[in-house]
Amino acid sequence: MARVENSSEASGKAAGPVEAVIILGHGSRVPEAGKDMEKVAARLREKYGYPLVQVCNMSKLGPHLPEIFEKCVKLGATRVLVVPYFLHSGIHLLLDIPEMLKEEAEKFPGVTIQMGRGFGFDEHLVDLLRDRIEETRSLSDVRELVLPPGGK
């Protein structure tokens, strides 16, 4: 991980990370919907040592990209890698997210912003789907499901 080389390192104090990773999801009206994405971010920090990994949503409940982007910059990021947590290459990946990132680029001209790909096709997804197929065989018929209270 790249670090800032400055006088604080010479004095023995570690400088903040210059690279941030933002995992950008769609967002939901369900308050706990983003918990799995937060777990993924935590595992990226734990397993691979990325020091600055944040999650945000494009719409619905926050946090949203502008506030998380600004947070990363305030924490010292001069390069931000935005990885969309999206399965298919629809309008959000093709247009909406690039437009949002260009807006952030205007606000923070000294920060490099790079947008990654969504998940799309990946052999790992084939394996994951096979795992889900196998575990589905042991689940109950949908008639036995207990649904949460309805409403919009």
Nearest of 147, 8, 30, 125 to residue 76 by alpha carbon: 8
Helix 97-107 vs helix 65-74: crossing angle, to nearest 10: 40
What does the alpha-carbon distance between residue 105 and residue 28 come to, in Å, rounded to a whole number?
25
| Domains parsed from the chain with CATH numbers | 7-121 (3.40.50.1400)
pTM: 0.84
CA distances from 83 to 21, 101, 142 (A): 7, 11, 34
Nearest of 152, 48, 60, 59 to residue 97 by alpha carbon: 59
Q: Is the pLDDT of residue 51 over 60?
A: yes
∠ CA 69-2-121, rounded to 5°: 65
pLDDT band at 31 (very low <50, low <70, confident <90, very high): confident
pLDDT digits (tens, 9 = 90+) for 2-24: 443 333 344 344 455 599 999 99
pLDDT digits (tens, 9 = 90+) for 66-114: 999 999 999 999 999 999 999 999 999 999 999 999 999 999 999 999 9
Nearest of 43, 35, 20 to residue 116 by alpha carbon: 20
